[in-house]
Amino acid sequence: MTTSHTETVDKYLEAIYYIAAEGEVVRPSRLAYWLSVSAPTVSNALVRLKRDGWIDISSDRSVTLTEVGTATATSLVRRHRILERWLTDVLGFDWATADIEADRISSAISDAVVDQIDISMGSPATCPHGNVIPGRDAHYGVLVALADLEPGTPATVRRISEVAEHEAPALLSMLAEHAIHEGSEVGVIESNVGPNDVALTVAGADLTLSLEAARLIWVQTI
């Protein structure tokens, strides 16, 4: 049976949602890295989350959200992504700052205010990084990682991985600096300019990006 959720519970539910949404199996070690806490801290928290009905833990220690855990996490993610869109599109914050500020203010704003903010922006389908706001449809086709795009194939940036949003704020700042955002037209010039780099063209300008970063950018071929 679930109990009322605390800020700590919220952080775990969101982390599990985000990691699973990227196609990863959610394990305690991954949560410890994501949340920057120790393995024992995660283990103790997961025991409580399972006891209170938020998650299930399989025999291989993989973690999944229960029905009520999924509903709560979905609501939290919706709030965060709507606030991110408002902070960037209306208030002019950069991506990395908007992510931080959305975390700070999310729990202090009522559902009614979030809903009105959403309506005032025309109910956008995605957050600023192209990740779909729960309950919406971004109408994307098949997406591939920029690192896997064939040289010479034009493509449009559709989303930036949640991993980049959470673990690589410097990457978000760099992408914003080079005007790489949802809807940007990109192409791979050469995929082996170095052992760990890829050469790109973004809106006619050349840019070299690490393969690690290129794996976090998802595109749709034109």
Q: Is the confidence at residue 194, as pLDDT, over 70?
A: no
Domains by residue range for the chain, with CATH: 7-65 (1.10.10.10), 81-137 (1.10.10.10), 144-221 (2.30.30.90)
pLDDT tens digits for range 31-72:
999 999 999 999 999 999 999 999 999 999 999 999 999 999
The C-alpha atoms of residue 201 and residue 190 are separated, in whole angstroms, by 10
pLDDT tens digits for range 139-165:
888 899 998 998 889 999 999 888 776
Most confident of 110-124, 143-157, 178-192: 110-124
pLDDT of residue 46: 97
Question: pTM of the full predicted structure?
Answer: 0.85
Least confident of 72-81, 201-210, 212-221: 201-210
